[in-house]
Structure 1
């Protein structure tokens, strides 16, 4: 089976019985237990983080990624569909993680579980599990931009940094877990939630509308785009958006502002 990168609830409902479908629920354990898409397995969002070291929000190690893939029963034929209870950032980050594992058959439910409910589709409360696989993915870390990559390209006109945080964070008026506030020099601001239709409709805006928003900020598909936020949670959604819109060179700065804002040598603009 093959599903688009951004899948509608109606389309997903037609494939629930497919043996090659893996539905991943990245909600809290409480929300998963309260009701989830039939067949969905629960995955704690912490599995998408390294979880140790000075920057625990960075991408998991190669072995952690391999173990994650095996634990969800992944193999090269499986189609993954993810959703979360936070408007889509964890689902996007899972897609990024699986893309690093060279698995492209990944989709995110447009509008998250809310869209499924609004269509009146069935929910279940019983927990699901899968048999672990022996999948050994080839890890491709080219989808990660680190501090050195950004510093080496910061004045390159072909690079566009997409800051997905809020405007107060971008301007340095609000500083979270960092020694300094502001933004990476030259970074372009488009808050992650500006890609959504509304608080009551968590689906992405029409493609043309988002592309116009991005172009107005200097973020265009012909550039190398690096997206980040505070801990690379919110920028999980912006990675998804860029991939959905056809950006061919989109990378994530997994250290994000939690790293950049605490390093003594990184330049900052306000």
Structure 2
């Protein structure tokens, strides 16, 4: 793969840059409750040297009933200051699943106007499998100011997605598993209707990953989106269950040169419980 400090870097790249003074590593591991994994406990036990723990559920909008919605700018800035992450840093985000939740934090940094941020391809499992070091002590951060320039174009709400669903543009692309998309499988969260946003296309995030949890090449990614009926010449809104795996689609699009995308933050957790928006079932 070609390393790009604005989208995706390899474990080899990280090993070479691990001691760079301007590098900031974030462990952004997150799991659904039924995974039976405790991301913070796993971080405390072993993480890549120098990594800080980025708590996706805590660094969010506490005023919202929806899970891990985008935090207010002030909250994001204060949390990053306390973690010692700020202007002039190259940020690398990874997670304990390979690639699952790290792209969400990559997107969050982009939303806040930070472009020098990349996801570690293959994440902690690949790093450990290759014999690279881990440690169990958290780093001692020094405060660092971050300048935020909020990028409204990278996020969409239910009203904007409803309009896109009616008009057919931007295209909505759903990252959930096909059975959930069709409405054949129950949602992991209670109280949600089954199915998908009318007119949306389905690109299951798992299809974009290799067996070792690295991202497939831009060429393979392009073919997968096109096979799902997505017109890559048009703008795209990515969606999923709660705004986590939708960011895997966003990262994949960015990496293959598609710049006109945004992410539906509320995703199905919001759409599926909204009584006034329609739900489709079956294939797209």
TM-score by length of 1: 0.92
Corresponding residue number in structure 2 for 1:242? 253
Corresponding residue number in structure 1 for 2:66? 55
Contact 1:102 1:140 in 2 (8 A): yes
What displacement does 1:111 show?
0.3
Corresponding residue number in structure 2 for 1:140? 151
What displacement does 1:217 show?
1.1
What displacement does 1:5 show?
1.5
Hey, what's the Cα distance between the residues in 1 that align with 2:63 and 2:41?
25
Corresponding residue number in structure 1 for 2:197? 184
Contact 2:26 2:91 in 1 (8 A): yes
Contact 1:169 1:175 in 2 (8 A): yes
| Change beyond 3 A, Cα 1:220–1:31 | farther
Contact 1:48 1:93 in 2 (8 A): no
Hey, what's the Cα distance between the residues in 1 that align with 2:231 and 2:44?
40
What displacement does 1:115 show?
1.4
Structure 1 residue ranges without an equivalent (≥5): none
Contact 1:172 1:182 in 2 (8 A): yes
Matched residue of 1:211: which SS?
helix
Matched residue of 2:139: which SS?
coil
What displacement does 1:21 show?
0.4
Hey, what's the Cα distance between the residues in 2 that align with 1:168 and 1:51?
31
Which is further off, 50-59 or 23-32? 50-59
What displacement does 1:160 show?
1.6
What displacement does 1:156 show?
3.6
Matched residue of 1:210: which SS?
helix
Structure 2 residue 107 is matched with structure 1 residue 96: yes
Corresponding residue number in structure 1 for 2:7? 5
Select 2:116's aligned residue among 86, 93, 105. 105
Structure 2 residue ranges without an equivalent (≥5): 30-38
Q: How many residues align?
A: 267
What displacement does 1:140 show?
2.0
- Structure 1 consecutive aligned stretches of length 4 or more whose deviation exceeds 4 Å: none
Hey, what's the Cα distance between the residues in 1 that align with 2:242 and 2:5?
29
Corresponding residue number in structure 2 for 1:41? 52
TM-score by length of 2: 0.88
| Change beyond 3 A, Cα 1:31–1:229 | same
Hey, what's the Cα distance between the residues in 1 that align with 2:82 and 2:105?
14
Hey, what's the Cα distance between the residues in 2 that align with 1:29 and 1:57?
16
Corresponding residue number in structure 1 for 2:32? none
Corresponding residue number in structure 2 for 1:225? 236
Hey, what's the Cα distance between the residues in 2 that align with 1:191 and 1:259?
19
Corresponding residue number in structure 2 for 1:74? 85
| Change beyond 3 A, Cα 1:9–1:130 | same
Matched residue of 2:156: which SS?
coil
Matched residue of 1:89: which SS?
coil
Superposed CA deviations along residues 97-156 of structure 1, whole A, max 9, x for unmatched, are 111110000000000011112222122222213112232312222211111111222244
| Change beyond 3 A, Cα 1:218–1:68 | farther
Select 1:168's aligned residue among 175, 179, 182. 179
Contact 2:22 2:90 in 1 (8 A): yes
Hey, what's the Cα distance between the residues in 2 that align with 1:148 and 1:38?
43
Aligned-residue CA RMSD in angstroms? Answer: 1.8
